[in-house]
Amino acid sequence: MKTGKVYLVGAGPGDPGLITIKAITALKEADCVIYDFLANARLLEHAKKGAERIYAGKKGRAKTIAQEEINVLIIKKAKEGKTVVRLKGGDPFIFGRGGEEAEEIVKALIPFEVIPGVSSAIAAPAYAGIPLTHRDMASSVTFITGQEDPAKETSNIAWDSLPKGTLVFLMGWKNLPAIAAKLQENGWDAGTPVALIRWGTMTKQRSVAGRLDNIVALSAESGMKPPMIIVVGEVVKLRDKLNWFESKPLFGKRVLITRASEQAGAFARLLEAQGAEPIGFPVIKTVPPASWSALDRAIKRLATYDWAIFTSANGVRYFFERLYKLGKDVRALYGVGLCAIGPKTAGALKERGLNVDLTPPEYKAEAIIEALGKRRIKGFRFLLARAEAARDVLPVEIKRHGGTIDVASAYRTVAPKKEAEGLKAELSAGNIAVVTFTSSSTVTNFMSIFKKGEAARLLKGVAIACIGPITAKTAQEAGFKVDIMPKEYTVEGLIEAMTGYYRRK
């Protein structure tokens, strides 16, 4: 059997946007990914379908797999002829034991490459507003392990000759008292600035600043835990002025996303850009309708319609999947006016090379009627491709104005079977700041996981954000007080309204 190849890949410090292009390419080619606790799990989305994923993380004292076993595993998978990506947090060669793994790979005569990653040693301080070097404050930076090999009899750290620039200790939470004491014993002033940064570069980042003589007490008071790095030096003083990341409008806010998984990704990225920590809990899932018969009949006679109305991007997606399934393409819509309820729906049509003839100023069914009224409804024939269970405002009003309309189910929404106890525990602990609803069905399905009166109790103090007035009405009918609603009924508008809400607070 042909021997495979190993890539020792730095996953970066936690923010998935900091992984390199070369690392993503390796992930896409890998047959097997062996990943660490500190490697963001979202990076696994880059792995190809069918790739084997093996968790080999070590979280503090809880070692899932010993280092020796990891070495054996890497070699075993490569000898099976697989392309192996060993995905390691930060950079594999900076206190990542990548050198040890590389030595074993070389002994086994397996070809390998190292793909460097952004180290938390430089990224975490940067995200905390601390430049490690500065012309007026520090001309050098020294990286030091915070936990030496416990089997060593003497320390390899030259405490008495560390340069008086910036010091960065990695994995030093447990030894913080000893580190602070050793530095002071070896000539560092007790008032030297120190910063502790936990989960650097991630939306759950936390940082604490103090001095060598009080940092241990501050760490205990603030509940700092690993993973954490320690920065020592005058540059820490710049944090108050340069703290760009933790100053984002939604920083540290844990936001629950209830929309379908396939739509949650873009929403989550927008939230992260504003500093929020998105928590995915899809209470809605889109699936094909119970029967395609109504939509199939409509597609076969598309030329008879004056207008085709789409009220969601999902409706567009399922409509065109069915159109192609029946052997037709966009030419079947020649001469048919296209109406989209909002910019996202319009964008879904434009992605398929179609110009939208009508998008109402307000993204709701009533606004479509008002906009169509100016172009006449009486005597015209309409197709409405929508969710299986939806409001009947459009069909009723079009008929009332003398139009003819066929309503065809393009998809339906269902509540996925997902364990809700974890969410209830998070809400009970006060760990969720905002719950977002992007459709009436997300409200209905969300409520279905609670017992009577349970939601009101668990959501006390939690902000409720609704994408528009129809969703807000459903939420209010369910007993919620809606705190946030945008002027523009899009996820971008919703996030803008959320940032405004917290700025006012």
Q: Quick: pLDDT tens for 20-61.
A: 999 999 999 999 999 988 778 789 989 999 999 999 876 555
Helices assigned H by DSSP within 18-97: 21-29, 67-79
Evaluate whether residue 459 is within a structural domain. yes
**Structure confidence at residue 194 (pLDDT):** 98
**Structure confidence at residue 255 (pLDDT):** 96
**Structure confidence at residue 8 (pLDDT):** 98
> Quick one: 482 exposed, middle or buried, by C-beta within 10 A (0-12, 13-18, 19+)?
middle
Instruction: Identify whether 36 is a catalytic site residue.
Output: yes
- On whether both 268 and 315 belong to a single domain, the answer is no
Helix, strand or coil, per DSSP, at residue 141:
strand
**pLDDT tens readout for residues 126-185:** 999 999 999 999 999 999 999 876 566 677 899 999 999 999 999 999 999 999 999 999
Range name among 142-156, 187-201, 444-458 with the lowest pLDDT average: 142-156
| Residue 417's pLDDT band (cuts 50, 70, 90) | low
CA 282 to chain centre: 13
**Structure confidence at residue 342 (pLDDT):** 86
- On whether both 297 and 385 belong to a single domain, the answer is yes
| Boundary (domain end) residue, out of 118, 137, 168 | 118
CATH number, domain at 363? 3.40.50.10090
**Domain range for 477:** 254-284+416-504
**pLDDT tens readout for residues 239-268:** 999 999 999 999 999 999 998 877 788 899
- On whether both 18 and 106 belong to a single domain, the answer is yes
Residue that is written with structure tokens 């700092």 in the block: 224
**pLDDT tens readout for residues 307-318:** 999 988 999 999
Evaluate whether residue 248 is within a structural domain. no
In Å, what is the CA distance from 500 to each residue of 249, 272, 343, 482?
A: 8, 16, 22, 15
Q: CA 463 to CA 459: how far, in whole Å?
A: 8
**Count: domains in the chain:** 4
Evaluate whether residue 470 is within a structural domain. yes
- On whether both 279 and 425 belong to a single domain, the answer is yes
- On whether both 420 and 410 belong to a single domain, the answer is no
CATH number, domain at 26? 3.40.1010.10
- On whether both 322 and 374 belong to a single domain, the answer is yes
- On whether both 367 and 380 belong to a single domain, the answer is yes
Evaluate whether residue 249 is within a structural domain. no
Evaluate whether residue 52 is within a structural domain. yes
Q: CA 360 to CA 343: how far, in whole Å?
A: 9
**Structure confidence at residue 492 (pLDDT):** 94
CATH number, domain at 171? 3.30.950.10
Which residues, including other chains, have CB under 8 Å from residue 10's CB and lie 6 or more apart? 20, 23, 88, 89, 90, 91, 92, 96, 115, 116, 117, 118, 119
Take residue 476 and report the two structure tokens written for it.
Answer: 């209010």
Closest by CA position to 482, among listed 446, 436, 441: 436
Evaluate whether residue 423 is within a structural domain. yes
Evaluate whether residue 247 is within a structural domain. no
The more confidently predicted of residues 118 and 360 is 118
Evaluate whether residue 174 is within a structural domain. yes
- On whether both 438 and 398 belong to a single domain, the answer is no
DSSP state of 12: B
Which residues, including other chains, have CB under 8 Å from residue 244's CB and lie 6 or more apart? 129
Catalytic residue (one of 79, 164, 171, 357): 171
- On whether both 129 and 114 belong to a single domain, the answer is no
- On whether both 409 and 422 belong to a single domain, the answer is no
| Boundary (domain end) residue, out of 414, 449, 469 | 414
On whether the CB atoms of residues 344 and 373 are closer than 8 A, the answer is no
Catalytic residue (one of 5, 15, 31, 36): 36
On whether the CB atoms of residues 346 and 359 are closer than 8 A, the answer is yes
On whether the CB atoms of residues 218 and 210 are closer than 8 A, the answer is yes
- On whether both 410 and 420 belong to a single domain, the answer is no
**Structure confidence at residue 9 (pLDDT):** 97
pLDDT at 319 over 80: yes
Q: Residue 287: how many CB atoms within 10 A of its CB? A: 13
Q: CA 24 to CA 11: how far, in whole Å?
A: 9
- On whether both 198 and 157 belong to a single domain, the answer is yes
Task: List b or e across 339-352, with b for residues whose CB sees 16 or more CB atoms inside 10 angstroms.
Answer: bbbbbbbbebbeee
State the average pLDDT for the chain: 92
pLDDT at 426 over 70: yes
Helices assigned H by DSSP within 201-292: 215-222, 239-242, 261-273
Helix axes 261-273 and 491-504, enclosed angle (nearest 10):
40
| Boundary (domain end) residue, out of 390, 414, 438 | 414
Q: Residue 97: how many CB atoms within 10 A of its CB? A: 15
Helices assigned H by DSSP within 111-235: 120-127, 176-185, 215-222
Average pLDDT over residues 62-67: 72
Residue that is written with structure tokens 């030093």 in the block: 172
Percent of the chain with pLDDT over 70: 96
DSSP 57-77: -EETTEESS-HHHHHHHHHHH
